[in-house]
Each structure stands twice: as C-alpha cells, then as structure tokens.
Amino acid sequence: MPLLRDYIAEHERATNYGGEAVRALDRGEHGQAHELLVAMAEELRSHWLGEENGLFAVMGTDDLYAQHIAPLVQEHRELDALLESVDLSDPDDRDRVRKAVFDLHEHIAKEEDGLFPASLTALDGDEWDAAMSGWREAHPGKSMIGRG
Ligand SMILES: [Fe+2]
Ligand SMILES: [Fe+2]
C-alpha cells in the first residue's frame, strides 16, 4: 500500500535524524544536534499532519481504533512541544531528547505493528482515497512513493 510505505519511509528518516542527534549530543556537539533535531521536527510535523488528517481520521471513525489513535496523537503533541521548547544547553533537556528519541521508536512500533496492519483489512477503497488525500494535503507538491 503506497500510503503505508510513505509513512514508514517518513518514520525511517525521522528516527535516523533522532539517532544522529543523540550521537551528536554524546559527542558534545550541541550545534549539530540542534540542526538534526530541526530536521527531525520538520520531517515529523508533515508526517503527523499526514497521519492525523489521513489514516487516523479515517480509522478514527471506528470506536475501537479511536481508542488506539487518541494516545498516538497525544504522543505527537508531546514530542512537538519538546522539540519546540528544547534547550540543549540544559542537561535535563538533553536527557528529555534522549528519552523522546527512544520513545519515538515505541510510538512507531505501535503504528507499524498495530494500526497499519489493521488498516489493510479495515479500510475500503473510498477510505484509502480519503486517507491518501489527507497525506497529500500534508505534503504539498510531493508525490507518493511509487505513484509518480
Ligand atoms: Fe504517529
Ligand atoms: Fe507515524
């Protein structure tokens, strides 16, 4: 499914930036870590919009899935707030970044091992179209992987 492949590619880019940012922090290169976190935030903000207005909006009309989606959206907001306010000169914030990058992997696992496989059987053709149009609105001018 092209939409899921795009989401997964976005996850990989975001976690790569996050991992590199943590390694930069470990080396004491806070400027580089900051740049990597900016890149991660940029990747994630369009990703979150694409999920929340795409797949989550469509699946969330089902109460069963809505229960799983609400905490995922909450985690998006929490990480967004951290990325907005983070001060890498503060050791507590550096620890928060390390934990957030770790937690992001858990968040992604809940999507890739839970919600995404469930969507393959839950959604019909019109619902996939609606989910994909949510993604397109979040990524103006970009094409989905494998869809030219
Ligand atoms: Fe997410
Ligand atoms: Fe995601």
**Neighbour-count burial of 106, counting CB atoms closer than 10 A to its CB (0-12 exposed, 13-18 middle, 19+ buried):** exposed
- Mean pLDDT across 34-58: 98
CA of 57 to the centre of ligand 2 (A): 13
Burial pattern 131-140, b for ≥16 Cβ within 10 A else e, equals bbebbbebbe
Nearest ligand to the CA of 79 is 1
Give 141 or 106, the one with higher predicted confidence: 106
Q: Rounded to the nearest 5°, which phi and psi values hold at 3?
A: -60, -45
Predicted confidence at residue 143, as pLDDT, reads 84
Q: Does residue 111 carry a pLDDT above 60?
A: yes
Distance 112 CA to ligand 1 centre (A): 9
Task: Quote the DSSP letter at residue 145.
Answer: T
**Ligand 1 centroid – CA 111 distance (Å):** 7
